[in-house]
């Protein structure tokens, strides 16, 4: 089959690799219909992770079940499914309490709980930017979708970024009527803004400097804030009579930068601490790493991010972090899509054949104007 393979910094190629096969009776093989490029893939693409050369990338996958192992009985061949990016066993202590993103069984990497497809440090699993994908514990992990092809571009957001954006608002403790500050208007930030609107926020600020992304935030009814036009905290305080936001979402991660492009991993955390009111919540879904050899400072290379903890404490704020447990939300979000109450496909800008993946990675990584979310179609 054809698959997108990591070759080295800023180099991915589409290669012929062996088809996946059933390795355990709990496995399924999914024929991929749509697989997305994620901002998380860009950390690997830019050489800012320890991902090994030859890894098949891709953790935002959906498709049709092609084969199942003998122990799979809920999921059937021919089912249309969304594949959560987390690989969960379903029976460990963390899975049983709803934290499938920290499964204790599926990631053999020392010191890491939680596994994913095609990702650095998340276990030996191939990704789904390919024609086929092996899914372990298929009955636990796969989400059934209505048959056919309807809502394909909406449902493809269920494997990661729609639940992740929703999770950001959940970690922030969003209540109806809240004013929310979302930092980052990438796919995850836009999904957090979409989620906040659905959950009844009274006003949603979305901070970025990329105008195409800010325009999309405006189109869904959020208030765009351009951080290259002035301090985003001042802009939000000005717009709220000095009150700031009730809660905030971090959807940028450790490669946060200033308008000139220079990285400051603490910048967005500091801004959130400033702009969120005392006792408010901050949901951090942007990724931070325990080691970042490519960072600018010695501290940051060790994953130590010196944000304004003193003010955070003084304001009695709280913070939630980490990978999203997709299964906690994906059923409800699927049903919101079917009911017409959610339409996460609004951010899709490009639908490319798998063979154009290298091009897609390059443009999305450059944040080229108009490249807001790239979908790959292995069958095209």
Ligand X SMILES: NC(=O)c1ccc[n+]([C@@H]2O[C@H](COP(=O)([O-])OP(=O)(O)OC[C@H]3O[C@@H](n4cnc5c(N)ncnc54)[C@H](O)[C@@H]3O)[C@@H](O)[C@H]2O)c1
Other beta carbons within 10 angstroms of residue 64's beta carbon come to 15
Q: Which is nearer to ligand X, 33 or 86 (CB)?
A: 86
DSSP state, 260?
A: T
Angle of helix 161-171 relative to helix 330-338, nearest 10 degrees, comes to 110
Nearer to ligand X, 201 or 236 (CB): 236
- Strand, helix or coil at 351? strand
Q: Which residue's CB is nearer to ligand X, number 157 or number 342?
A: 157
**Least Cβ distance, residue 104 to Zn ion (angstroms):** 5
Q: Would you count residue 165 as binding ligand X (CB under 6 A)? A: no
Subset of residues 232 to 251 that bind ligand X, contact rule: CB under 6 A: 251
CA distance 260 to 122: 32
Contact between 49 and Zn ion by CB under 5 A: the answer reads: no
285 binds ligand X (CB under 6 A): yes
Q: Tell me if 164 contacts ligand X by CB under 6 A.
A: yes
Does 360 contact ligand X by CB under 6 A? no
130 DSSP assignment: B
Distance of CA 176 to the CA centre of its chain: 24
Q: Which helix (H) or strand (E) holds 206?
A: strand 203-208
Among 209, 274, 328, 363, binds ligand X (CB under 6 A): 209
Q: Which does 92 bind (CB under 5 to 8 A by kind): Zn ion, ligand X, none?
A: Zn ion
Nearer to Zn ion, 99 or 307 (CB): 99
Q: Specify the residue, 61 or 164, whose C-beta has the smaller distance to ligand X.
A: 164
Torsion of CA 367, 263, 9, 379, to 10 degrees: -30
What is the b/e burial string over 302-340, where b = at least 16 CB atoms within 10 angstroms of the residue's CB?
eeebebbeeebeebebbbeebbbbbbbbbeebbebbeee
Half-sphere exposure of residue 168, counting CA atoms within 13 Å on the CB side?
A: 32
Spatial contact of 307 and 266, defined as CB atoms under 8 Å apart: yes
Nearer to ligand X, 24 or 366 (CB): 366
The site map against Zn ion for 103-142 (x = CB under 5 A) is x-x-------------------------------------
Angle between helix axes 187-198 and 211-219 (nearest 10 degrees) is 20
Q: Could you tell which of ligand X, Zn ion, none binds residue 3, using a CB distance below 5 to 8 A set by kind?
A: none
- The binder of 209, among Zn ion, ligand X, none, by C-beta within 5 to 8 A per type, is ligand X
Of residues 70 through 99, those in contact with Zn ion by CB under 5 A are: 89, 92, 95
160 binds Zn ion (CB under 5 A): yes
Q: Classify residue 377 by its DSSP letter.
A: E
CA-to-CA separations, 171 to 99, 264, 281, 324, in angstroms, rounded: 13, 23, 7, 10
Rule CB under 6 A: choose which of 189, 244, 281, 283 binds ligand X. 189
CB of 76 to ligand X, least distance (A): 29
Does 217 interact with ligand X (rule: CB under 6 A)? no
Query: What gap in Å lies between CA 281 and CA 180, rounded to an integer?
Result: 10
Q: Which of 28, 87, 171, 188 binds ligand X (CB under 6 A)?
A: 188
> Token pair for residue 119?
């990702």
Name the site residues for ligand X (rule: CB under 6 A): 38-40, 42-43, 160-161, 164, 183-189, 207-210, 213, 227, 251-253, 256-257, 267-268, 285-287, 323-324, 367
Name the site residues for Zn ion (rule: CB under 5 A): 38, 40, 60, 89, 92, 95, 103, 105, 160
């Amino acid at each position: 089959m054809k698959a997108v393979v990591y070759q080295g910094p800023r180099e991915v190629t589409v290669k012929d690799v062996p088809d996946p096969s059933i390795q355990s009776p709990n496995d399924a093989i999914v024929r991929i219909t749509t697989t997305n490029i994620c901002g998380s893939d860009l950390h690997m693409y830019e050489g800012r992770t320890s991902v090994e050369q030859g890894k098949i990338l891709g953790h935002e996958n959906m498709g049709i079940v092609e084969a199942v192992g003998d122990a799979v009985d809920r999921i059937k061949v021919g089912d249309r499914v969304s594949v959560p990016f987390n690989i969960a066993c379903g029976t460990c202590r963390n899975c049983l309490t709803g934290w499938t993103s920290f499964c204790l069984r599926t990631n053999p990497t020392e010191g890491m709980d939680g596994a994913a497809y095609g990702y650095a440090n998340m276990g030996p699993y191939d990704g789904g930017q390919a024609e086929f994908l092996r899914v372990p514990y298929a009955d636990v992990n796969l989400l059934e979708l209505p048959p056919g092809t309807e809502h394909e571009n909406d449902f493809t957001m269920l494997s990661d970024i729609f639940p992740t954006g929703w999770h950001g608002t959940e970690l922030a403790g969003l209540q109806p009527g809240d004013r929310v500050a979302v930092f980052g208007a990438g796919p995850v930030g836009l999904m957090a803004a979409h989620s906040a609107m659905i959950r009844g926020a009274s006003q949603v600020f979305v901070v970025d400097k990329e105008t195409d992304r800010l325009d999309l935030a405006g189109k869904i009814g959020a208030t765009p804030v351009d951080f290259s036009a002035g301090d985003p905290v001042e802009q939000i305080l000005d717009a709220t009579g000095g009150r700031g936001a009730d809660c905030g979402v971090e959807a940028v991660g450790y490669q946060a930068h200033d308008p000139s492009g220079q990285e400051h991993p603490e910048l967005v955390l500091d801004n959130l601490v400033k702009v969120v009111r005392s006792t408010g919540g901050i949901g951090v879904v942007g990724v931070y790493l325990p080691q970042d050899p490519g960072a600018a400072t010695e501290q940051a290379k060790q994953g130590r991010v010196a944000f304004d903890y003193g003010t955070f404490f003084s304001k009695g704020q709280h913070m939630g972090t980490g990978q999203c447990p997709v299964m906690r939300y994906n059923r409800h979000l699927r049903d919101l899509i079917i009911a017409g109450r959610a339409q996460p496909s609004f951010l899709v800008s490009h639908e490319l054949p798998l063979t154009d993946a290298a091009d897609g990675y390059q443009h999305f990584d450059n944040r080229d104007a108009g490249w807001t979310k790239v979908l790959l179609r292995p069958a095209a």
